Amino acid sequence: MIVNEEKISRVPLCPVHLIGMGLADLTLVWPFANDIENIEVSRCHAPGCVYTYSRTDGYFRFCAGGSIRSEEGLVSLCPEHRLALYISEYDSQGKIATWCCPDIDCEMSKKSRVD
């Protein structure tokens, strides 16, 4: 019997609700360049939450018609891949978040206190 190991993509947690975010496509319109770009992002499913995560921009709040501005306190880059880390786990007792690189082969992670 042959078993193929399939790597499962990691799911970012919302920085506010600390629940798994779902995949979505975000369409960016560049009016001055007359250009449109689609990027894959993760968005929080909690009602009214506008937190979004992308590998390149990290966590940001996005409303239709708005712009992307990364949240300064929520952006940290993987030193090897230069991708934005995301919250992969949260320990509610110790209030400790584990941050990981979105590159599936990267094992880089760090922990930080979330108050």
Amino acid, res. 81: H
Q: Is the residue at 96 inside a domain?
A: yes
Q: Is the residue at 11 inside a domain?
A: no
Q: Is the residue at 6 inside a domain?
A: no
pLDDT in tens, the chain (115 residues): 444 333 445 799 999 999 999 998 888 776 677 778 888 899 999 999 999 999 988 999 887 766 677 777 788 999 999 999 999 999 999 999 999 999 989 999 999 988 7
Q: Look at the chain and report how many structural domains it folds into.
A: 1
Residues counted in the chain: 115
Residue 7: predicted pLDDT? 40
Residue 3: predicted pLDDT? 41
Residue 9: predicted pLDDT? 53
Q: Is the residue at 44 inside a domain?
A: yes
Q: Is the residue at 81 inside a domain?
A: yes
Q: Tell me the DSSP string of 56-77.
A: TTEEEE--TT----B-GGG--B
Residue 80: predicted pLDDT? 95
Q: Is the pTM of this model over 0.85?
A: no
Enclosing domain of residue 51: 22-113
